[in-house]
Amino acid sequence: MTDNNTDTPEESDETTEATEANEAAEVVAETAAEAETPIVEATPLEKAEAEAAEMKSRWLLSVADMENYRKRIGREKQDIIRSAGASVVESLLPVLDNMKLGLQAAENHPEAKDVTLGFKMVDDQLKRALSEQGLEELIPDGEAFDPNFHECISHQSSSEVDEDKVIQTVRAGYRLNDRLIRAASVIVSSGAEKT
């Protein structure tokens, strides 16, 4: 008896030929699919347009960088000018302090009233000229103590001034263009005296 499942040599050759035919058909189909989508090279006009677009993009970036550079240099220039002005003003602060002390001392001598009036005019003129440059005098009497702008040199009890408020400014502070040059030296209230 013969086994029905065993292939004869002729059937085996037919199966192999069918498999090879299927593989060949697949290769032909893949080649045909590749042939249907041809690789198209860009025309010289398209290449030139792409290059022009890239150059325009680079140019716009360069223009923006240059504008940012100009703005940054302008800000730095203003900062340098302010810093230079600050050093001049700082050197004039002792002059303002001494002028103020001299005027206070002259008020005690009525015979020097005319000279005192002249020096008072000079003091006002100097303060006006400096305020035009952005100098602001800080005399925080009665204000709340702020360690960013005030330097506490003493605490005093006071029934008239609330706690943590400035009783008296001993030495004026100064601010130039919103930049603190010298903190005001103040006496701060510690509140009413406790019994």
pLDDT tens, residue by residue, 121-151 = 999 999 999 898 888 999 999 899 999 999 9
Please give the pLDDT value at position 16. 64
Shared domain for 162 and 176, answered yes or no, is yes
Mean pLDDT of 111-120: 87
Q: Which has the higher per-residue pLDDT, 23 or 108?
A: 108
18-27, 39-48, 56-65: range with highest mean pLDDT: 56-65
8 Å CB contact between 173 and 154: no
Shared domain for 118 and 140, answered yes or no, is no
Location of structure tokens 């015979």: 111
**Residue 2 tokens, joined:** 């013969």
Helical (H) or strand (E) element with 93? helix 44-106
In the chain, % of residues over pLDDT 90: 36
In this structure, is residue 32 part of a structural domain? no
Please give the pLDDT value at position 2. 45
Answer with the one of 109, 133, 157 that is the final residue of a domain.
133
Is 36 a residue whose pLDDT tops 60? no
In this structure, is residue 156 part of a structural domain? yes
Please give the pLDDT value at position 14. 60
Is 31 a residue whose pLDDT tops 80? no
Please give the pLDDT value at position 108. 85
In this structure, is residue 26 part of a structural domain? no
In this structure, is residue 168 part of a structural domain? yes
Shared domain for 71 and 108, answered yes or no, is yes
**Mean pLDDT rounded to a whole number for the chain:** 83
Q: Residue 130: which of 89, 178, 91 has the closest Cα? A: 89
The CATH number of the domain holding residue 183 is 2.30.22.10
Question: 1-38: buried (b, 16+ CB within 10 Å) or exposed (e) per residue?
Answer: eeeeeeeeeeeeeeeeeeeeeeeeeeeeeeeeeeeeee
In this structure, is residue 186 part of a structural domain? yes
Please give the pLDDT value at position 167. 92
Shared domain for 142 and 190, answered yes or no, is yes
What lies within 8 Å, CB to CB, of 61 at 6+ separation is none
In this structure, is residue 19 part of a structural domain? no
Shared domain for 118 and 150, answered yes or no, is no
Q: Which has the higher per-residue pLDDT, 195 or 168?
A: 168
> Which residues, listed in sequence order, are joined to residue 179 by a DSSP beta bridge?
176
Total structural domains within the chain: 2
Please give the pLDDT value at position 28. 58
In this structure, is residue 194 part of a structural domain? yes
What DSSP string describes 45-81? Answer: HHHHHHHHHHHHHHHHHHHHHHHHHHHHHHHHHHHHH
In this structure, is residue 25 part of a structural domain? no
Please give the pLDDT value at position 121. 92
Q: The domain containing residue 126 runs over which residues?
A: 54-133
Categorize the per-residue pLDDT at 25 as very low, low, confident or very high, splitting at 50, 70 and 90.
Answer: low
Mean pLDDT of 87-114: 87
Helical (H) or strand (E) element with 102? helix 44-106
